[in-house]
Structure 1
Amino acid sequence: MFTTTPSFDSATRQAEAAAGAAGVRIETIEAPERLGVVSHLFAEVWGTDPGHEPFAGDVLRSLAHAGGAVHAAFGPTGLLGASAAVFGPPRKGDLYSLIAGTTRISQGVGYALKLAQRAWALEQGARTITWTFDPLVRRNAWFNLVKLGAVAGEYTVDFYGPMDDGFNAGDETDRLTAVWRLDTVGSAEAPARPEPDPLPGPDGQPFTARGGRSLWCRVPEDITAIRRQRPELALAWRTAVRDVLADALADGSTATSMTRDGWYHLTRSDREDTP
């Protein structure tokens, strides 16, 4: 459901409600020993070896000291999730979310973290939060575009270069850039798509559809499992989705929503095309 949030106070109430529903307490933390625990949680979520955490504790400490924020979600058993963000260029009014993760998938912890991050960003005067995500990870795409209400208008091929964690190893790290306007939370799911195009996707089933100024593109249900079990199929999905999304976004479309069964909905602005 789409809602408008005009103030920091109401954003704080929404964040507190989300934390209560998830059964967690959200804190911003700066103490080195506590940031070390956050670093270990990120390593657990991303499946990295000891000494190769996505963000080391000292880096998180510097980030917080420089004016960013590390939010941590604590439940009865301890730390369950965390996020870290810094501000973008001066005067842009944008907070850049570097990382967010939780050991409790689909239990509201990630949503509570993002709403807490949003409330903090509004208090600092930010207007948007930006981050990147893998376009092939369906649950993240739905969370970002529908649950939060972000949009994605930029596709970058191999954004990070090779990575050797439990999610990205063996694949190129293409990313969509999400931008979340902080005066809104949530978006409508994508409308019903028209008859799919006959061109098959990597699994032999249609994966694109077109209607009016809209384009739909399907992604697999669990790309992480496909990478482990059939890496050649995962690479085929990467190439197929890249060919559709990268061209569409470069041509002025924006990914605005997603269906529950994994179809991106991309729309074009109403501006007239120029020759």
Structure 2
Amino acid sequence: MGNYHIRPFNDRADFEKMQQLEKDTWDMAPIPLHQTLTAHKNGGLLLGAFQEESLIGFSYGFAGFSDGSSYLCSHMLGIHPDYQKRGIGEALKYAQKREAARLGYEQVTWTFDPLEGVNAYLNLTKLKAVCSTYEVNCYGKMNDGLNAGLPTDRLKVDWWIQSDYVNSDFVFSEEQAKVFAEYGSTEEGCPKISLLHPEYLAEEALLVPVPRKFQEIKRHSFDLALKWRLDIREIFVQLFAGGYTAVKLIQRPQEPVNYYLFVKDFRLTTRREEKK
């Protein structure tokens, strides 16, 4: 792969390189340069992974504000197709954590597709962000390869970057968790939700399966992909309304699914709360 380094954007050329990388990564019109420049100068944070002078990855966040508190809204993370699956995205997130804390942020938020297990594993299991918000059809209709034809449902995660939970070795165990949703197989051998266990809704921890290879399911059977979208929407909305928080994605290489771990009445103490 070669060596690379990560640093904040510092001149117009960096922002121009980001626009080209957006095109190369997603084949979509880039964010206007005047917007990203302005966001970066006013509480936002743009970081690049550079190999010599070439930009091979970036993260883009802007300042957010809600209910009297500020946070960093991490809107985009893109890696050049030639450099994906090499840990650059994870490195960019940890750099974002350091820089956001230096700027005074305690919270970073972003959204991701609950059916994309690679993203879920990074966001929840590795970074230790948590989630209790499901956004139905968050972006409306999108025509790119990953989203075309399906509602753009998203999970909104909260990454409390200065909390003890994020910065400790503590991890949630799934040993006592009950399987809230069981899966079966279609005639073609693809996984599908087959049975729910509402009697477990008082349990402290629950497991919910999602397909390990959702994009393959979408290519094989659009109807099954849509069913996964709608089934997961119903389950997650129900669990969040019942006081559960998604805290982890458990990978099961021997199965066609991974599992989200939900815990009941999750409570995280932040520095912001300690000051009250």
Written as runs of structure 1 = structure 2, the 5 A alignment for 1:95-244 is: 95-103=72-80, 104-183=83-162, 184-185=166-167, 188=171, 190-192=173-175, 193-194=177-178, 197=181, 200=184, 203-204=191-192, 210=200, 212-244=203-235
Q: TM-score, normalised by structure 1?
A: 0.80
Residues in 1 aligned to 2:120 and 2:26: alpha-carbon distance in whole angstroms: 17
The CA distance in 1 between the partners of 2:87 and 2:237, in whole Å, is 31
1:191–1:58 distance in 2 versus 1, CA, 3 Å? same
CA distance in 2, matches of 1:87, 1:225: 36
1:86 and 2:62 aligned: yes
The structure 2 residue matched to 1:67, chosen from 32, 43, 59, is 43
Distance across 2 between alignment mates of 1:260 and 1:199: 15
Q: Report the counterpart of residue 14 of structure 1 in structure 2.
A: none
Indicate the SS of the match to 1:89: strand
Identity of aligned residues (%): 28
Q: Aligned with 1:172: secondary structure? A: coil
Unaligned runs of 5+ in 1: 1-20
SS at structure 2 position matched to 1:218:
strand
Shift of 1:160: 0.8
Question: Structure 2 counterpart of 1:87, which letter?
Answer: A
Distance in 2 between residues matched to 1:132 and 1:196, nearest whole Å: 24
Q: Give the conservation status (yes or no) of the 8 Å contact 1:156–1:246.
A: no
Q: Which moved more, 1:260-269 or 1:63-72?
A: 63-72
How far apart, in 1, do the equivalents of 2:156 and 2:89 lie?
A: 18
The alignment status of 1:34 with 2:14, answered yes or no, reads yes
| Structure 2 residue 261 is matched with structure 1 residue 265 | yes
CA contact (8 A) 1:22 1:112 kept: no
SS at match of 2:20: helix
- Higher alpha-carbon deviation: 151-160 or 78-87: 78-87
Aligned counterpart, 1:44 = 24
For 2:238 and 2:86, how far apart are their aligned partners in 1?
Answer: 35
8 Å contact 1:189–1:258 — kept in the other structure?
Answer: no
Secondary structure of residue in 2 paired with 1:232? helix
8 Å CA contact 1:154, 1:250 repeated in 2: no
Which residue is equivalent to 1:245?
A: 236
Q: Distance in 1 between matches of 2:172 and 2:52?
A: 33
Provide closer, same or farther for how the CA distance between residues 92 and 27 of structure 1 changes in structure 2, counting only shifts above 3 A: same
Judged with a 3 Å threshold, the aligned counterparts in structure 2 of structure 1 residues 227 and 260 are, in CA distance, closer, same or farther, namely same
Separation in 1 of the partners of 2:6 and 2:102? 16
Preserved CA contact (<8 Å) 1:170 1:227: no
The answer to whether the 8 Å contact 1:219/1:263 transfers is yes
CA contact (8 A) 2:133 2:155 kept: yes
CA gap 1:29/1:77 in 2 versus in 1, 3 angstroms: closer
Q: Relative to 1, partners in 2 of residues 1:89 and 1:173: Cα closer, same or farther, differing over 3 Å?
A: same
TM-score normalised by length of structure 2: 0.79
What's the secondary structure of 2:65's corresponding residue? coil
Shift of 1:188: 2.7
Amino acid at match of 1:145: L
5+ residue gaps, structure 2:
253-257, 268-276
Q: Give the residue type in structure 2 aligned to 1:217.
A: V
Cα distance per residue 1:234-261 (max 9 Å; x no partner) = 1111011111111111221100111012
Once the two structures are TM-superposed, the CA of residue 230 in structure 1 deviates from its matched residue by 2.5
For 2:147 and 2:182, the matched residues in 1 are separated by 30
